[in-house]
Each structure stands twice: as structure tokens, then as C-alpha cells.
């Protein structure tokens, strides 16, 4: 984590402008084609949910604007954010929150996420809750069109919140809607666009890797 001097931060004027708002947060929901990712997960027996958490974390961390946070009035840039995601054990209606490092390998993350989720006995491990997280949630029972999150109204809260619903067939493809809730003091629409582009690239790259592995 690296401290950023206020007077050298190019975004300071925009930050100050939105700091005058009582509620400096905004949300946006957009459609994503997940056909390739779903196919990749089916072939390898991976959780689509854990895989999308992994790729979304990578996409968020590829955009610098998402990695700023405030601590004791000081501005910091973190090297990477870690996922903190809701999950359900089979047969349960009581969700719990799993927080863990992302790592570098998608398949390893999926295996470790399932293991940690199944072994976790508490609703939340408070010791893992820090400011350098990404909050994930999923409503796999409905097609999501918009979403807001509960929060303590702290204008310094820079944690990105990401959610999606179930994917739907559309013209031979599979699509879902992803919702982001963000602090406008740190993030603008252009950064949402960069996240979207990075996520799509990562899904495309996965399929390319799969084809290379299948070659003799």
C-alpha cells in the first residue's frame, strides 16, 4: 500500500467536488456475454460463480482508480483488492461471507473458495474485513436489472460492490447483468468501461487457453 500525496493526485479537484455530496455513490448495471466463461467452467467442472468472482477481481485490479482508499484522512493506492463474497451451503437459506486472497490461478481459486466456504462455521470472519476488499453478491434465482447495497453512510467508503443475477439465453448466447455500486469521489464512468473491457478480455483469454491445452 503506497501513500499518495494529495497535492500530486490529478483527481483531487473531482474528489473535492463529489465530497460536497451527502451521498457520493452511484450504481450502474450492464449486460455481459458470459457464453465463453460458462462453457469453460462446464468443461472443467468449475463453479461459474467462483470463476466470475475471480475474473471480476482481476478486472477491478487492472484499473488503478478502483484501488484507492482513505485511511485516517490519508490517500493510499493498494497493490490489489481481495474478494469478499456471499455464499450458501447446500440446503441452507442462511448465507455467509467468505473473504480470501484471489491468487493467480482461476482453477486453484475455485477449489480453495469452495473448501473455505464449506469449512467456514461463522457468518463472517471480522479479522479479514479490511478496506482493500471487493464486496460480491449474487442472486442466481432472478435476472438482475438493478441493485443497491445496504451500507453505513461513510463517504470515505471506497469498497467496490459487485453483484449479478442468473444468466439468460439470448440469440444463441448466454448473458447476465452485472451491477456495480461505486464511490464517485474515486471512480467515474470511464473506469466502469475499463472494467467491462478488462473482464471481456479475460473471458476471451480463458477460452484461448482452453483451446491451446486441448492441442496434441
Summarize the confidence of residues 99-103 as an average pLDDT.
96
Summarize the confidence of residues 158-182 as an average pLDDT.
96
Nearest to 53 by CA among 199, 205, 159: 199
Summarize the confidence of residues 7-28 as an average pLDDT.
96
Measured on CA atoms in the order 170, 140, 54, 66, is the torsion positive or negative?
positive
Please, which pLDDT band fits residue 129 given cuts at 50, 70 and 90?
Answer: confident
The CA distance from 206 to 40, in Å, is: 7
Q: Please, what are the domains in the chain?
A: 26-214 (3.30.559.10)
Contacts of 75 (CB under 8 A, 6+ apart): 3, 4, 5, 6, 9, 68, 69
Summarize the confidence of residues 35-47 as an average pLDDT.
96
Backbone angles phi, psi at 83, to 5 degrees: -80, 140
Amino acid at each position: 500500500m503506497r501513500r499518495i500525496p494529495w497535492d500530486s493526485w490529478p483527481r483531487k479537484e473531482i474528489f473535492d467536488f463529489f465530497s460536497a455530496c451527502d451521498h457520493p455513490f452511484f450504481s450502474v448495471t450492464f449486460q455481459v456475454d458470459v457464453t465463453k466463461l460458462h462453457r469453460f467452467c462446464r468443461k472443467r467442472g468449475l463453479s461459474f460463480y467462483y470463476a466470475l468472482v475471480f475474473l471480476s477481481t482481476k478486472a477491478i485490479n487492472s484499473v488503478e482508480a478502483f484501488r484507492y482508499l482513505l485511511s485516517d484522512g490519508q490517500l493510499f493506492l493498494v497493490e490489489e483488492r481481495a474478494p469478499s463474497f456471499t455464499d450458501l451451503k447446500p440446503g441452507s437459506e442462511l448465507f455467509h461471507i467468505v473473504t480470501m486472497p484471489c491468487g493467480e490461478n482461476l482453477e486453484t481459486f475455485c477449489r480453495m473458495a469452495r473448501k473455505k466456504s464449506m469449512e467456514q462455521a461463522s457468518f463472517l470472519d471480522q479479522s479479514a474485513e479490511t478496506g482493500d476488499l471487493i464486496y460480491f453478491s449474487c442472486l442466481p434465482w432472478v435476472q438482475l436489472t438493478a441493485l443497491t447495497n445496504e451500507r453505513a453512510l461513510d463517504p470515505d467508503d471506497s469498497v467496490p460492490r459487485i453483484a449479478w443475477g442468473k444468466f439468460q439465453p439470448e440469440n444463441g448466447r448466454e448473458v447476465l447483468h452485472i451491477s456495480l455500486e461505486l464511490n464517485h469521489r474515486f471512480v467515474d464512468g470511464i473506469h466502469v468501461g475499463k472494467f467491462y473491457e478488462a473482464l471481456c478480455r479475460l473471458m476471451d483469454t480463458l477460452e484461448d487457453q482452453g483451446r491451446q491445452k486441448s492441442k496434441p
